[in-house]
């Protein structure tokens, strides 16, 4: 048997190892990209504005969390006025992997010239004190900055409560991405009136100015003990579906700030895809309802209205932005986030 030189043997072993590595590499799944992350992400239903007895709500944090847990939400942010409720004990009791999560929060409750200025601080590291200011805009900006300093995510609440915040204020405010397009409290004037614009018209004014702002729907629930009372602010009216990689506070917060969510007062989507070329909305229909979808662009103009499911809009390129509003025949809505179109 011819003797194989040690150099040849070494070369053979190196070649065999390299070949094996190449085969292994070829069979390995491709690297995770933003696109594959998207397909792995799930939709989570949550409410980002809720009160307890820690401010002016009528129920304990335990009772409030229990209500949302038992009504098929996946996350809840507790946002008492100028109070940061600890959520560790609540999560120990009610939290469950990929099923339910309580996130800490605060409704920073400020006032300027007798106008109530309320800004939610979602998942902050610390309590934020209302900062005040000489004007509505100055106070809002100081509060938003303080929330960012506390590493919280700001959302501007019920702009039409006491007609406190105008579209002009929202347009000029910086460092914020979220505002309430719908708030379930019965005194917050979502639809406008008396010559003042509703929240949707305000949204289009802000978007048409070139500022990207995402619309969030919330309960602002205070009252869990008198569900028959129409003057009470009860739960279950407005929420968001957030598309995130997992049910954890950092992932939910990042998805909100990216606009990877839609706001709803009852309409659920089976699928939602948006790119620079096309927006496609697939509605999860219910038996008793009919639907229509409006695609809306600059200055609130309706670009297209369809009654098909899925509803598809091909982007032309000159719209400025495109957002969609799904209208259900019994008065329920869903709002998807604006896609900027340059």
Residues of this chain that interact with Zn ion (CB under 5 A) are 107, 118, 157, 220
Shorter beta-carbon distance to Zn ion: residue 110 or 220? 220
Shorter beta-carbon distance to Zn ion: residue 234 or 336? 234
3-class SS letters over 115-135: EEEEEEEECCCCCCCCCCCCC
Least separation in angstroms between CB 118 and Zn ion: 3
Shorter beta-carbon distance to Zn ion: residue 105 or 338? 105
Question: What is d(CA 301, CA 325) in angstroms, rounded to the nearest whole number?
Answer: 12
Instruction: Please count the other Cβ atoms lying within 10 Å of the Cβ belonging to residue 66.
Output: 16
Query: Facing residues of 325 across strands?
Result: 294, 335
Least separation in angstroms between CB 74 and Zn ion: 21
Shorter beta-carbon distance to Zn ion: residue 110 or 328? 110
Question: What is d(CA 231, CA 224) in angstroms, rounded to the nearest whole number?
Answer: 12
Shorter beta-carbon distance to Zn ion: residue 109 or 336? 109
Least separation in angstroms between CB 85 and Zn ion: 13
Question: ω before 296 within 30° of 0 (cis)?
Answer: no
Residue whose CB is nearest to Zn ion in the complex, by number: 118
Task: Give the distance, in angstroms, between the CA of residue 90 and the centroid of all CA atoms in the same chain.
Answer: 22
CA atoms within 13 A on the CB side of 111: 7
Of 104, 53, 52, whose CA–CA distance to 75 is shortest? Answer: 104
Least separation in angstroms between CB 121 and Zn ion: 12
Least separation in angstroms between CB 64 and Zn ion: 12
Question: Cβ neighbours of residue 125 under 8 Å, at least 6 residues apart?
Answer: 150, 151, 152
Least separation in angstroms between CB 116 and Zn ion: 7
Shorter beta-carbon distance to Zn ion: residue 119 or 293? 119
């Amino acid at each position: 048997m011819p003797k194989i030189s040690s150099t040849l043997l070494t070369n053979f072993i190196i070649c065999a190892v390299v070949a094996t590595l190449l085969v292994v590499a070829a069979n390995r799944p491709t690297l995770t990209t933003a696109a594959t992350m998207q397909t792995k992400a799930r939709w989570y239903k949550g409410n980002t504005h809720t009160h307890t007895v820690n401010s002016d709500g009528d129920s304990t944090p335990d009772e409030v969390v229990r209500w949302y847990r038992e009504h098929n939400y996946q996350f809840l942010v507790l946002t008492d006025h100028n109070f940061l409720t600890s959520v560790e004990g609540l999560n120990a009791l009610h939290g469950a992997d990929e099923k339910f999560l309580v996130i800490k929060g605060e409704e920073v409750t400020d006032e300027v010239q007798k106008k109530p200025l309320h800004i939610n601080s979602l998942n902050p590291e610390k309590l934020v004190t209302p900062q005040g200011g000489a004007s509505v805009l100055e106070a809002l900006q100081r509060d938003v900055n303080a929330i960012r300093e506390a590493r919280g995510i700001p959302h501007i609440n019920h702009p039409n409560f006491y007609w406190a915040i105008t579209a002009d204020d929202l347009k000029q405010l910086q460092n914020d991405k979220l505002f309430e397009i719908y708030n379930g409290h019965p005194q917050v004037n979502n639809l406008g009136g008396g010559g003042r614009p509703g929240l949707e018209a305000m949204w289009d004014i802000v978007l048409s100015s070139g500022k990207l702002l995402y619309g969030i729907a919330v309960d602002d629930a205070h009252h869990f003990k008198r569900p028959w009372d129409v003057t009470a602010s009860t739960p279950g009216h407005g929420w968001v579906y957030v598309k995130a990689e997992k049910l954890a506070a950092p992932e939910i917060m990042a998805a909100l700030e990216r606009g990877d969510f839609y706001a709803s007062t009852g309409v659920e989507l089976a699928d939602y895809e948006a790119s620079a070329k096309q927006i496609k909305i697939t509605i999860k229909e219910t038996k008793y309802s009919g639907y229509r979808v409006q695609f809306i662009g600059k200055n609130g103009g309706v670009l297209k209205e369809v009654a098909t499911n899925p509803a598809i809009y091909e982007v032309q390129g000159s719209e400025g932005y495109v957002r969609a509003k799904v209208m259900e025949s019994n008065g329920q809505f869903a709002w998807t986030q604006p896609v900027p179109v340059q």
